[in-house]
Structure 1
Amino acid sequence: MEKPASANASPAGIRPASGYAGDISAQLAYEWVLSGDAVLVDVRTDAEREWVGYVPGAVPLAWKQWPGMAMNEAFDQGLKTAVPAGMKAVLLCRSGVRSVAAAKRAAELGIEAYNILEGFEGDADAQGQRGNIGGWRRQGLPWKQG
């Protein structure tokens, strides 16, 4: 028996993903954090947050550490500590790539995890520069530098 088309539809604003709860916009992630439904976890390196900017109130928990981009051995425990049982985790990186890997790992740990599309800096433009197309900063959401 075939399911009606509506049975396959995902909740508004959530793109289905393989291995984690889904992909969402920065705006939706921000709304969830404001409403207390989710914890924002910034999985960029400490250097990226320091040099490029950070989101006030986000949990800083690198997926990989600079230099060398070695896996952060403390990631699993840090994530379990940061995200209370029953809450969603919304994961932010530079462009939305590392946060996919981190969301998959979070799902393996039993956490409802979402990747934030376009990340903090957005996609690269025709000149290969970030910050001009999409991303948390470009959308005017709260962030600080320095």
Structure 2
Amino acid sequence: MTQPSDKSAPSAIDPAEGYAGDITPQTAAQWVATDAAVLIDVRSDAEREWVGYVPGAVPLAWKQWPGMAMNEGFDSAMRAAVPQGKKAVLLCRSGVRSIPAAKRVTQLGIEAYNILEGFEGNPDAEGHRGRTGGWRFHGLPWKQN
């Protein structure tokens, strides 16, 4: 994985209820680069295919398109993806859907963090994502098919 951009933010953890906390995309990238955490992309397969993905991230949808139905295999796949003693950092589109996923992962006994801003960040004044925050906005590694 490449190094995070120099637009980095402090690596502070914002406390959260029900999971280990919220972290910036830069902190998540640093933890993954140093093998301290596993990056779990909880977006749907369609989102990763159409919008882009993070190389090396574990693609594990929390909810699946169409209809955004719960992924019945989420728990078992999460246990298989995160080795004992490692943190899980969860990425969604905007840092909202990954919160309930982080809570569930915590219930599974895994130290879980939500990545603030997600992959695309919040919409700007014109309703476009990717311009005000998110993994891509900060210049962190990603690809698009």
Question: What is the TM-score of this pair, normalised by structure 1?
Answer: 0.91
Going by fraction, where is helix more abundant, 1 or 2?
1
Q: 1:1-146 to 2 correspondence within 5 Å?
A: 12-146=11-145
**SS of structure 2 residue aligned to 1:123:** coil
Cα distance in 1 for partners of 2:50, 2:91 equals 16
Structure 2: give runs of 5+ residues left out of the alignment.
Answer: 1-10
**SS of structure 1 residue aligned to 2:136:** helix
Letter in 2 for 1:15: D
Letter in 2 for 1:73: E
**SS of structure 2 residue aligned to 1:31:** helix
The share of aligned pairs that are identical, in percent, is: 73
Superposition misfits of 4+ residues, deviation over 4 angstroms: none
1:77-105 Cα deviation digits (max 9, x unpaired): 01000000100000000000110010000
Question: What is the TM-score of this pair, normalised by structure 2?
Answer: 0.92
Structure 1: give runs of 5+ residues left out of the alignment.
Answer: 1-11
Question: CA RMSD, aligned part only?
Answer: 1.1
Letter in 1 for 2:133: G
Cα distance in 2 for partners of 1:75, 1:97 equals 17
Structure having the higher Rg: 1
